[in-house]
Amino acid sequence: MTAELVRGQNHPLPDTRLEIRVSSGAPVAVAATLFDAAGAVAGAGRVVHPGAPSLPGVEVSRQAAAEHRLAVDLGAVAADVHRVAVLLALPADPGGPGRFGALAAPFVAVAVPGGAAVATYTLTGLDTESAVVALELYRRQGAWKVRAVGQGYAGGLAALFRDQGVPGAAGLAAAVQDAVAPAPAPTAPSAPAPTAPPPPVGAPAPSGGPVDYTHPRRRTATPPPPPPSAPPAPPGTPATPVAGDAAGWSMEERLYNQVWGMFEDLARTTAAYRSAVDFAESRMERELEGVLSDPRSRIGTAGDAARAEARARCRELTDRAREALDRDLAQLTAESDVVEPALPPAFARWDHPVWHAYRAPTEAPMALRLGDLHLRERPELRIPMLVRLPLERGLWVDSGRRGSEQALLMDEARLRRLALDTAVAHTARLLAVHPPGDFTVHVIDPAGSGAAAFAPLTASGVLAGPPAAGPGGVATVLAQLTRRVDLVQMAVRGGAGTEVLPPDLDTAGQLLVVHDFPHGFDDRAVTQLRYLADEGPAVGVHLMMVADREDAAAYGPVLDPLWRSLLRVTPVPDDHLADPWVGHAWTYEPPRIPQDSQVLQQVLASVAEARRTWRR
């Protein structure tokens, strides 16, 4: 039985050997302060922190990480220790989030080592604080108890230590920040404490071993910490939304599921509203017709009264439907307001601060944001359009004017440029969210007409090579990718590993961006392209067409299956996407990079830099 603590609540602990699990939306440093019976801290030596990670009975990780497991043995702590405060602090990284309010609510669980959680606590309501006392473990009449504290400090660790009465608070805070400053990227599991039990079965195998038995999407076999859930709301009012309030094995998966939950809720609540309005209107029409066909209503004012009543009934029902819709939309908007700031780069808009603090990831994300979706009832409530990675189908950035109303209004040259810019933004995002070396991008630009738009990619040197030009270039790239698909398919079907593949073969995921199709394509090249579209996604070769279908009209219907196999996205807002539950037409909005923002160039520069260091 796990107790979900609220702030201030305490809970008895069954054992002195405990594991404290911390999960947060961004790397945090974890520390612990040991108090004596009088509530005083004897000295900086009584603080366990990344710079001095071990004291008898308590051990913390040497680095900042999004997930921590601390081993605590309260039986081994010094006899005069009566209270242990567990602290979380955000690294003082100028690119980091800097405040807990920008993240999903941190979650801590006190558990029996390797077993179920005894008590959990979600630290909600943090805002500008950058350090927080999460929990206290304290002695009470010979037994240990845990209390949820949740006291945050906008002044950071220094203010926190000062408040705790730690001598030399500022120096200690600086020491902690120094210890976590280099921030080694991988969140390596902390070394087990002497008193700690062996790591749970199924923990990630040590890297470098010959065989990795871990499932690529299931990182650990131990039960995930429960998601942060909204604190119970007073009756009659909806719960305050919390980012990450959904099922999942990691914060990323929880946020992904939460976004999809919001997507479904918005689809369904809008369906309820539309259905009610349709019903109200059809009922009014029926009633008005009834009045018209009733001979009694033709004389006197009875007819007018009946008509007025029918209209009033319609209005009354529509108003009530609107009220219900507004109530639901207010709740979803509040949820969106906490979820958007907590999103990781792959799910975040380009104007999100995480993109300014971009660092090459060590793991590919589970999904990618392709843009935003909204319905006409509340255009400002936008749901991130997340697609799973690796992509199951290619993308088609439609540069044709006939595809959508907004595109029709636009000048053709501008639309084509916009389509290219959109494709470059999608490509940059794909490159940035994959670990260096895991994703290779090829560009086909037969006539070189997209050179200006492709400049951010070419200038930063993140492409596999310069954009392929002319029929020769097209043929070379297509032949190379076709060979890769063929060989990997054979290896997969034969059940052999990647070791049977020729050494020159790039096993990274591949993206082929095709501009100006079918310029420069002969029949053989078109056939190869179709082969890549059909067979590529299963073996990690993806296609992104930036094309106007009309340009390839000469091929007739034989290319229809190609277009259909691609996920069509537009460079301008367009309502061509349907949700899987009700089938509303959602307006898709392509990703927008803020005007005059250098975020794309900066991110691509970091990607290029990460690749250079990775190759070395």
Partner 1 sequence: MSINLTKGQAISLQKSDGGTLSAVRMGLGWQAAPRRGLFGSRTREIDLDASAVLFAGKQPVDVVFFRHLVSDDGSVRHTGDNLVGGAGQGGDDEAVLVDLQRVPVHIDQIVFTVNSFTGQTFQEVQNAFCRLVDETNGQELARYTLDGGGQYTAQIMAKVHRTGGGWTMTAIGASANGRTFQDLMPAILPHL
Binding residues (CB under 8 A) for partner 1: these are 235, 264-265, 268-269, 271-273, 275-276, 279-280, 283, 317, 320-321, 323-324, 328, 581-582
Separation between Cα atoms, residue 345 and residue 348, nearest integer Å:
5
Tell me the Cα Rg of the chain. Answer: 29
Decide whether 271 or 508 has the Cβ nearer to partner 1: 271
Decide whether 277 or 605 has the Cβ nearer to partner 1: 277
Separation between Cα atoms, residue 8 and residue 145, nearest integer Å:
12
DSSP one-letter code for 582 = S
Separation between Cα atoms, residue 85 and residue 87, nearest integer Å:
6
Tell me how many helices (H) and strands (E) the chain has.
12, 21
Residue 72's Cβ-count burial label (10 Å; 0-12, 13-18, 19+) is buried
Q: Which two tokens stand for residue 256?
A: 């992904």
In the complex, least distance from residue 55 CB atom to partner 1, rounded to whole angstroms: 46
Which one-letter amino acid corresponds to residue 124? T
Decide whether 336 or 570 has the Cβ nearer to partner 1: 336
Angle at Cα 119 formed by Cα 113 and Cα 120, nearest 5°? 105
Residue 593: which of 352, 399, 401 has the closest Cα?
Answer: 352
Whether the Cβ atoms of residue 72 and residue 79 lie closer than 8 Å to each other: no
Helix (H, G, I), strand (E, B) or coil at 502: coil
Residue 551's Cβ-count burial label (10 Å; 0-12, 13-18, 19+) is middle
List Cβ neighbours of 125 (8 Å cut-off, separation of 6 or more): 150
Decide whether 269 or 440 has the Cβ nearer to partner 1: 269
Decide whether 328 or 589 has the Cβ nearer to partner 1: 328
In the complex, least distance from residue 275 CB atom to partner 1, rounded to whole angstroms: 6
Q: How many CB atoms lie within 10 A of CB 312?
A: 11
Whether the Cβ atoms of residue 15 and residue 74 lie closer than 8 Å to each other: no
Residue 392: which of 536, 526, 294 has the closest Cα?
Answer: 536
In the complex, least distance from residue 70 CB atom to partner 1, rounded to whole angstroms: 37
In the complex, least distance from residue 117 CB atom to partner 1, rounded to whole angstroms: 24
Decide whether 230 or 582 has the Cβ nearer to partner 1: 582
In the complex, least distance from residue 388 CB atom to partner 1, rounded to whole angstroms: 22
Decide whether 257 or 476 has the Cβ nearer to partner 1: 257
In the complex, least distance from residue 323 CB atom to partner 1, rounded to whole angstroms: 8
In the complex, least distance from residue 263 CB atom to partner 1, rounded to whole angstroms: 12
In the complex, least distance from residue 303 CB atom to partner 1, rounded to whole angstroms: 22
In the complex, least distance from residue 268 CB atom to partner 1, rounded to whole angstroms: 3
Separation between Cα atoms, residue 143 and residue 505, nearest integer Å:
62
Strand 567-569 and strand 395-398: pairing?
parallel
Decide whether 277 or 475 has the Cβ nearer to partner 1: 277
In the complex, least distance from residue 292 CB atom to partner 1, rounded to whole angstroms: 20
Q: Which two tokens stand for residue 401?
A: 């004017």
Decide whether 209 or 580 has the Cβ nearer to partner 1: 580
Q: Starting at the edge strand that comes first in sequence, how are the strands of the sheet with 367-374 ordered? A: 383-388, 367-374, 585-589, 574-578
Q: Name the helix (H) or strand (E) containing 26.
A: strand 17-36
Decide whether 282 or 527 has the Cβ nearer to partner 1: 282
Decide whether 279 or 563 has the Cβ nearer to partner 1: 279
In the complex, least distance from residue 336 CB atom to partner 1, rounded to whole angstroms: 18
Decide whether 324 or 475 has the Cβ nearer to partner 1: 324
In the complex, least distance from residue 319 CB atom to partner 1, rounded to whole angstroms: 9
In the complex, least distance from residue 235 CB atom to partner 1, rounded to whole angstroms: 8
Decide whether 175 or 239 has the Cβ nearer to partner 1: 239
Handedness of CA 439, 25, 337, 130 (dihedral sign): negative
Separation between Cα atoms, residue 97 and residue 342, nearest integer Å:
10
Whether the Cβ atoms of residue 501 and residue 487 lie closer than 8 Å to each other: yes
Decide whether 284 or 541 has the Cβ nearer to partner 1: 284
Which one-letter amino acid corresponds to residue 26? A
Q: Which two tokens stand for residue 278?
A: 């349709």
Q: Which residues of 217-242 are buried (b: 16+ CB within 10 A; e: fewer)?
A: eebbebebbbbbbbeeeeeeeeeebb
Angle, helix 412-433 to helix 599-615, in steps of 10 degrees:
40
Q: Which two tokens stand for residue 561?
A: 């299956």
Decide whether 146 or 321 has the Cβ nearer to partner 1: 321
Which one-letter amino acid corresponds to residue 152? G
Decide whether 52 or 272 has the Cβ nearer to partner 1: 272
In the complex, least distance from residue 377 CB atom to partner 1, rounded to whole angstroms: 14
For the residues of 400-414, what is the DSSP string, one character each?
-STT-HHHHTS-HHH
Q: How many CB atoms lie within 10 A of CB 101?
A: 18
In the complex, least distance from residue 282 CB atom to partner 1, rounded to whole angstroms: 9
Residue with tokens 């990079």: 593
In the complex, least distance from residue 1 CB atom to partner 1, rounded to whole angstroms: 17
Residue 189: which of 48, 32, 21 has the closest Cα?
Answer: 21
